[in-house]
Amino acid sequence: MLLPSDDGAKRRLTERAELTVAAEFLMARGFARDEIAVQLSRFYYVDIDALNDVVDTIGRSAPTTWKYVS
């Protein structure tokens, strides 16, 4: 008998390098800093403390970008 697969399982997102890539990806697509944790936690188990450190580091090093709104 086959065991049912766990299709609802989430992957872990805990490594600093992976968190950096994910945060930069979302920020490049227009997500605000405070939305990143919410978006990632929909699909991954996220180390929130590490993610906050990564987002703060990215926020300090990245220049402020302005969007043109017509």
What is the spatial distance between Cα 52 and Cα 34, in angstroms, rounded to a whole number? 9
**What does the CA dihedral 38, 49, 20, 34 come to, rounded to 10 degrees?**
40
What is the spatial distance between Cα 69 and Cα 60, in angstroms, rounded to a whole number? 24
Tens digit of pLDDT for each residue in 30-67? 999 999 999 999 999 999 999 999 999 998 886 656 55
What would the two tokens of residue 7 be? Answer: 């299709």
pTM of structure:
0.73
CA of 70: how far to CAs of 31, 64, 67, in Å?
Answer: 19, 19, 10
pLDDT attached to residue 47: 95
